[in-house]
Structure 1
Amino acid sequence: MTDAVMKDAQLLWDYQLMGHSPRPCSVAIGLGSHDLGVADVTAELYRQGMAPLIVFTGATSRTTRDRMPRGEAEHYRERAIELGVPRDAILVEPQARNTGENIRFSRALLEEQGVRVSSVLLVSKPYEERRAYATARKLWPDVEFVSASAPMTMANYAESIGNDRLVVDMLVGALQRLLIYPAQGFMISQEVPQDVRDAYERLRAQGFTSRIVPEPPRRSE
């Protein structure tokens, strides 16, 4: 990776972080993915007294079916129990296959369990904090969300993944969704600074596109 690519990627990484400080909430929701670090962070926040209850949400995907054959949420639960979280402090939502379903299905599960929720500690991968927050605010507008993720640099995260190019691809994909999903009703709209937009366009032009999704055709004026 060239220095210019990594500089642009760093702009996207920094923008995706919400900069929230964890505080006690009604529940912590850990969003399923390939990254068991989400379960680690959620368990640590529970131990710190930031939430009395955890929901892990996620089925499997093409990137997790081999590593997590029992489902992302179930593997997260197993990890959290290994780290000392009581089994009865964890609920599992095993069906969600995207961020919107993570939120909707977790909300439905908590309502079924009679859990009153006024605030949620929303735990995700670092580069998906803003996407998760924007989606949650759209789908559950009467609840306050506090974003959290593993406190690590982009370089450390890329080292943990072992694939710099994949990390840049994921950053581009996450930013693209922030740009196009509000118009499709999937998340709230957020201001994207021009320098971040410019970095995103440069990275797309250089072929970091494996994680982008098809965009709806633009309407002619």
Structure 2
Amino acid sequence: MTATDRVTIPAEHRRDVECLWHYHQLGHDLHPVDVGIGLGSHDLGVAKVATDLYHRGMYPLLVFTGANAPTTIDRFPRGEAVHYREHALTNGVPDDAILIETEATNTGENITNTRRLLAEHGVHPRSVILMSRPYQQRRAYATAKKLWPEVDITCASHPLTFDDYVSSIGDADKVINMLVGDTQRIHKYAELGYAIPQEVPEAVTAANARLINAGYTNRLVK
């Protein structure tokens, strides 16, 4: 990637966007677990980190979960989990080490459907690594702890710097809108009983409010 290829965040919003970016990443220490789970999205980085961690011996079995959403249908027309599996196979993960779940359209369904799929294969993990977009870590963790509380959960994402991540997606507005939407969901989904509550610092709430006022509202839930 050259300097001319880089996608940048508007300068007036950078501090607020970075505040949200750091809030959503949990910084978990990785250790070997029973199963790796890659959550479908528009971000192929999920498949990349899942493949890397398999080769590092972090788990013997990998599940990719995800159908399609409006933000992924063009990039992954055969479905998120299918494209993730193809990436893993191309990069040396054996076919018998991968399961795919192709119906989930939200994080709750990712967890519920994956749990059911594993049970159908006689797998009842005590520990998992959840792999997601960097700014989905906190919401994924909160959702999984609500729906699968007995399992030890570690979160991971493709290790890119903030600027490199934005450039890898190629659309700064999309990243900001997704960050704002995920921050709102931390509150909203806990209130609705979809996830466990998470502490939200005042600085994060204020940053999200400023970005909403600036028009980044495409991913807000009603």
Aligned equivalent of 1:36, options 40, 44, 55? 44
| Counterpart for residue 194 of structure 1 | 202
Question: Which of residues 189, 204, 207 is equivalent to 2:212?
Answer: 204
- Runs of 4+ aligned structure 1 residues displaced above 3 Å come to none
1:26 paired to 2:37 = no
Q: Paired residue for 2:170, among 162, 172, 180?
A: 162
* CA distance in structure 2 between the aligned counterparts of 1:146 and 1:17, rounded to whole angstroms: 11
Which aligned pairs between 1:27-176 and structure 2 lie closer than 5 A? Answer: 27-176=35-184
Q: What SS does the corresponding residue of 2:72 show, helix, strand or coil?
A: coil
Q: Distance in 1 between matches of 2:181 and 2:69?
A: 16
CA distance in 2, matches of 1:76, 1:109: 17
User: TM-score, structure 2 length as denominator?
Assistant: 0.94
TM-superposed CA distance for 1:116, in Å, is 2.3
More moved, 165-174 vs 62-71: 62-71
1:105-129 deviation per Cα after TM superposition (whole angstroms, max 9, x unaligned) = 0000001110120001000010111
Pairs aligned (count): 214
Unaligned runs of at least 5 residues, structure 2: 1-8
C-alpha separation in 1, matches of 2:170 and 2:182: 19
* Root-mean-square deviation over aligned CA pairs: 0.9
Shift of 1:4: 3.4
TM-score (norm 1): 0.95
Could you list the runs of 5+ residues in structure 1 that have no partner in the other structure? 215-221
> More deviation in 10-19 or 165-174?
165-174
**Separation (CA, whole Å) in 2 of partners of 1:45 and 1:110:** 19
Other-structure match for 2:221: 213
Q: Tell me the percent identity.
A: 53
Provide, for residues 32-60 of structure 1, a one-character-per-residue CA deviation record: whole Å limited to 9, x for no partner. 11111101100100000000000000011
